[in-house]
Structure 1
Amino acid sequence: MPTTADVHVALLTQRCDTDLGDPDLWFRPDGYPHSLALCTIDSISSTGAHYNSVKNILRHYIDYRIAQGGNADTDNAGALLGTFDELGGPQAWAAMTNNRKPTSTAKGAPLKAAAIHEAAGRLRELGIDSTDDLRAADADALADAKKAWATVPGQRSGLTWNYFLMLAGIPGVKADRMVIRYVADAIGTTPENVSATDAAMLVKAVAEKSGHNVTHLDHAIWRFESGRSVNQQS
């Protein structure tokens, strides 16, 4: 007898096959394989935000680094932390990026800029200064880094950590509300009944079963559910 998990994987596989088209034509997710700085900024800025606002933050940071004679595309954690030092801290950094969004809706929640600063500092303390360091880290080192990341305000769920890894080129699933909603509908339930962990596990299982790159599958689901084109020739 198939288990409930088997049934859910089969249902999600069928829905993906129906909705997402030819995997060879899926749009590929953006990433920053050589910039730990941009991975950190994007992942922490993305929660509860329209992606256009994230792109604006990134653009301001990139422009700031260009004006300095730097290159954001290759910035490590040290370079990112250096911009906070030069500007005078998270408040000024938030002003430079024209975004003062807090990490949560709780009263007195720190700015996302402060979380970016803290996350970069914690990674650097653990010897993870670049995306090369991140990709070379063993399981224990990654587990320690994940724990440290989770202590940063607003990052406890692990959602931004998974996204951070994906942006750096480490396969994974960012089970945000779009992906959760898609998975829930596919298996015949409501989003409230599907946790981010469960959604990620199911997407990974479908990727393994179908031979897809899990990051590309996650991105295709996200694009479909958010009303964007999935297929580059559609």
Structure 2
Amino acid sequence: MTTSIARLARRCEEFLDDDGRPLTIGYPTSLALCILDAIYATGSHPTAVGNVVDRYIAQHGTDDGAKSLRYSIAATGGPVVWAELVVCNLKPASTQPGAVLKAEVVDRATRVMADHGIDTVDDLLGAVGDDPFTCELSRSWLALPSQSSGISWMHLLMLAGSRHFEVDFRVACYVAELAETDVDLTVDYVLEQIDAAAQCLGVEAEVIERIVWQVSHRRILSAPDTSDFFAEVGPGFGDEMAAPAWGGLTETREITRAAPF
């Protein structure tokens, strides 16, 4: 086992319980919560996102679909009033002047789901198919205000339990922090490291993919204690674990698997 794999496994192990189950965030019974979390997660601290979800759950429970979320917003008096009274969060969707509230994006997202006949998590996963960036639903989601990067779309799918995984800029940078400086950082390399870490920990690769996605996108925060780690892997591995000076890293959603970043 290489040092980079040991480092990745150690970091991911923090997010596994004693039975090897992931401590990542997901809402397999509620598309409403998936939508809320996905839209509020970008540019927000995990605690703030958790507060939004918890406040919605306090009023509506844990099993709402997209339709119920839309009704909640309408019954309260619209996105602004709903943001004030239900989730208590008036954060805008971007830092651009005049940006709409994230609550408005949530409302529009529920309309997108209605337009495509989607209400539940199963409806969503069935509509996505094999390639989540070619379906009509994805194009509608990416057309929402400040959602064109695709990050919130991937958040949504991860929260819903989709098996699809995207090696984007942040995922690549996260793995690069742990890699030896002489490796060729490609999508294949990232996936190989994840597969090897999964084997090391005795879990499915999808479990490590979800952990890496949520940590690299700061939906869950990692603060591992590495004080005894270097003692385990042996001498010579206690050097700085700073990110190597990888060149040409650019954020993208469509990546050729063998292409370097």
TM-score (norm 1): 0.73
Structure 2 Cα separation of the partners of residues 85 and 112 of structure 1: 15
Deviation string, structure 1 residues 150-205 (Cα, Å, up to 9, x no partner): 0011111111111111111112447688645422323467xxxx9xxx77x75444
Contact 2:11 2:222 in 1 (8 A): no
SS of corresponding position for 2:148: coil
- The answer on whether the counterparts of 1:110 and 1:153 sit within 8 Å (CA) in structure 2 is yes
Q: How does 1:1-234 map to 2 (within 5 A)?
A: 13=5, 15-17=7-9, 19-21=11-13, 25=20, 27-65=22-60, 71=61, 73-96=62-85, 97-137=87-127, 139=129, 142=132, 143-173=135-165, 179-187=171-179, 203-208=190-195, 213-221=204-212, 223=215, 226-229=221-224
Distance 1:42 1:217 in 2: 20
Sequence identity percentage: 31
What stretches of structure 1 of length at least 5 have no aligned partner?
Answer: 1-9, 66-70
**C-alpha offsets along residues 68-119 of structure 1, whole Å, 9 cap, x if unaligned?**
xxx3x21111100001110111101110211010111000011000111111
TM-score by length of 2: 0.67
Q: 1:92 to 1:213 in 2, by over 3 A?
A: farther
**Structure 1: distance between partners of 2:190 and 2:152:** 17
Q: Is the CA contact (8 Å cut-off) linking 1:80 and 1:120 kept in structure 2?
A: yes
- Matched residue SS, 1:165: helix
Q: Considering only CA atoms, is the larger Rg found in Structure 1 or Structure 2?
A: 2
Unaligned residue ranges in structure 2 (runs of 5+): 230-261
What is the DSSP-based 3-state SS (H/G/I as helix, E as strand, rest coil) of the residue aligned with 1:137?
Answer: helix
Alpha-carbon offset, residue 14 of structure 1: 5.6
Spell out, residue by residue over 1:38-95, the C-alpha distance to the aligned partner (whole angstroms, 9 max, x if none).
0000010001111111111112211222xxxxx3x21111100001110111101110
Shift of 1:217: 1.1
Aligned length: 208
Partners of 2:20 and 2:131 lie apart in 1 by 35
For 2:110 and 2:29, how far apart are their aligned partners in 1? 15
How far apart, CA to CA, are the structure 2 residues paired with 1:36 and 1:21?
28
Going from structure 1 to structure 2, the CA distance change for 1:214 and 1:126 (only over 3 Å counts) comes to farther
Give the root-mean-square deviation of aligned CA atoms: 3.4
Higher helix share: 1
